Amino acid sequence: MTRNFISRIVAMAVMGILLGLYAHHDFVRCNARGRDAFLAYQSMRFERYMANPRPIVLMVLSSIIGVFFFCIYEIIALAISALLKSSMPDPPPINRFDNYLGRTGRDQSSLTIPKRRSCDENLSPQPQAS
């Protein structure tokens, strides 16, 4: 796993934990108020936000807020990646032609290269053993 992948996973986990803590806090607060207060709050919320359609300006602003939270996620991932950079060594660069060229990191004496046959060898009839 690369440093970038690990930092993104950790950033998602951090943001998930923060969202979970906020949801838990909201649940505890609503639970402490009681059923009637919760239903009154939900009724007020429905009348204010759901009964009337929202103008397009609010839709655009909510999209901008979503982009803001994505930027926060990217900043957290970048910070974690910077912290992991000092603790994790960079992987060696991958050259796809290393295996083709014979540079595999193994002892080269153990590699055998098949002998090339000439065209005359391939065309000449082979003697049949009886």
Contact yes or no for 7/77 (Cβ under 8 A) = yes
CA nearest to 7, candidates 91, 83, 98: 83
Alpha carbons 90 and 73: distance in angstroms, whole number: 23
pLDDT tens track of the chain, all 130 residues? Answer: 677 788 888 888 988 999 999 999 999 998 999 999 989 999 998 888 887 777 888 889 989 999 998 999 888 888 888 888 777 666 666 666 555 555 555 555 555 665 666 655 555 556 666 5
- Angle at alpha carbon of residue 76, lines to 74 and 79, rounded to 5°: 110
End-to-end CA distance of the chain: 60
